[in-house]
Structure 1
Amino acid sequence: MIASPPSRTARSAIFAVVCVCLTALGHRTASGEPMSPDALLWGFFGVWAVALPLAGHERSLPTILGGLLGGQFVLHALFSTGELHYHHHHCSAHPVSAAGHGGTAMTVAHLLAAGASAWWLRRGERAAWRLARLAASVLLRPLWLTFSAPAPQAPRAAVPRTQSSAPPRIAPLRHVLVLRGPPAPVPGR
């Protein structure tokens, strides 16, 4: 089943929102620094542009997780650059060093964001496709039945005829009373 353009647009936008929000949350938690709103917007539109052509088919969990891991580290670079730019223009009294933007905590935060969003998006992906298949089968079934050609029927096998044309002899049953017809003649009258 292939998704329609409005469905693809909506699915990729939802994917971008989830990915960027969880990445920003993890990044903010690990660095403790505010992010530039411009970096968030660039991140959303970048993820959306990559996800839009990929949203045509149902994706597996490993595929979603792989895409998210790559996206997490691209977003990390974008958010780190956005933090430095934001601090340079808005908080010049408190300079931020670039050395604090790597490290284990940041890596773990991005890995957790990728894992959580992959799990969440796969569940949503599976439910959305299941709903789409159900709707298609319910709504399109009458059309398929109306416009489909009838299935060819197999020819019936010919019944072999017996040599005699007399009807087969049926053995009478022992405990059957025949109550139809005229009364039987009474003997001795």
Structure 2
Amino acid sequence: MTASLPFRLVRAAVFAVVCLGLSVLAHRLGGGSVSAPVAAGGLSLAFGAAVAASGRERSLAVILPLLGGVQAVLHVLFSLDHAPAARDAMGHVHMSGLAPSVGMLVAHAWAAGLTALWLARGEAVLWGLLRRLTTRLRLVLVAYLRPVCEPVVVVAAPEPGRLRSVLLASAVPRRGPPYAQVPLLSG
């Protein structure tokens, strides 16, 4: 089952907003900041990646690398957004360059894995629901959009004449052995 363009765009928009929201939140919790133009660029990046992948149901094997790649690009984009010298003075715990620390890699791997599992399960539920709804809708449409047939008027044929012969006309239909008159002997 493939998705139509409006459905693909809605799915991509939801993915992009959630992806960017979680990325900005995690970046802010890590001590970084994200400007509005960089957030808009990250939103368009996430939207573009999601539109490319939203044509049909995707498994965890497709979602995890895609999500990891988008997350890495967003991380680099967010890291390039702020000046390291000014942020270090304010106690920024994020990396000062583009090479992440081991803790940062673990945090990104954990976030990408958990989010990919969540998205893969959501994909399975969404497409399962759509398949069921499509089947039900087809059944309803077949039942209610059948051409209405006018009732056929059946003209009764005249009742046929009796098929009994004259000999059988006086016969009495009974079940059981034939009735025989046997004279009784008294004695």
TM more than 0.5: yes
Q: TM-score by structure 1 length? A: 0.68
Structure 1: how far apart are the matches of 2:50 and 2:98? Answer: 30
Q: Which amino acid letter does the alignment assign opposite residue 45 of structure 1? A: S
Structure 2: how far apart are the matches of 1:95 and 1:116? Answer: 28
Q: CA deviation at 1:104?
A: 1.8
- The CA deviation string for residues 118-149 of structure 1, in whole angstroms up to 9 with x for no partner, is 111112111111111111111123556879xx
Q: CA deviation at 1:22?
A: 2.3
Q: Which amino acid letter does the alignment assign opposite residue 103 of structure 2? A: A
Aligned residues: 154
Change (3 A) 1:99 1:77: closer
Indicate if the aligned counterparts of 1:15 and 1:121 stay in contact, CA closer than 8 A: no
Q: How does 1:59-78 map to 2 (within 5 A)?
A: 59-78=58-77
Q: Which amino acid letter does the alignment assign opposite residue 119 of structure 1? A: L
Give me the CA root mean square deviation: 3.1
Q: Where in structure 2 are there 5+ consecutive unaligned residues?
A: 147-173
- Corresponding residue for 1:180? 175
Q: How does 1:25-36 map to 2 (within 5 A)?
A: 25-29=25-29, 31-36=30-35
Change (3 A) 1:61 1:118: same
Q: CA deviation at 1:112?
A: 1.9
- Corresponding residue for 2:133? 135
Specify which structure has the bigger relative contact order, considering alpha-carbon pairs within 8 angstroms and separated by 6 or more residues: 1
Q: Which amino acid letter does the alignment assign opposite residue 42 of structure 1? A: G
Change (3 A) 1:93 1:23: closer
Change (3 A) 1:115 1:3: same
Q: Where in structure 1 are there 5+ consecutive unaligned residues?
A: 148-178
- The CA deviation string for residues 3-42 of structure 1, in whole angstroms up to 9 with x for no partner, is 111110111111112222222233333x312222322221
Change (3 A) 1:2 1:13: same
Indicate if the aligned counterparts of 1:16 and 1:44 stay in contact, CA closer than 8 A: yes
Q: CA deviation at 1:103?
A: 0.7
Indicate if the aligned counterparts of 1:58 and 1:129 stay in contact, CA closer than 8 A: yes
Structure 1: how far apart are the matches of 2:16 and 2:97? Answer: 28
Q: How does 1:26-175 map to 2 (within 5 A)?
A: 26-29=26-29, 31-84=30-83, 94=90, 98-99=96-97, 102-141=100-139, 143=141
1:8 aligned onto 2:11: no
Structure 2: how far apart are the matches of 1:83 and 1:117? Answer: 26
Whichever of the two has the greater Rg, that structure is 2
Indicate if the aligned counterparts of 1:26 and 1:110 stay in contact, CA closer than 8 A: no
Of 133-142 and 53-62, deviating more is: 133-142
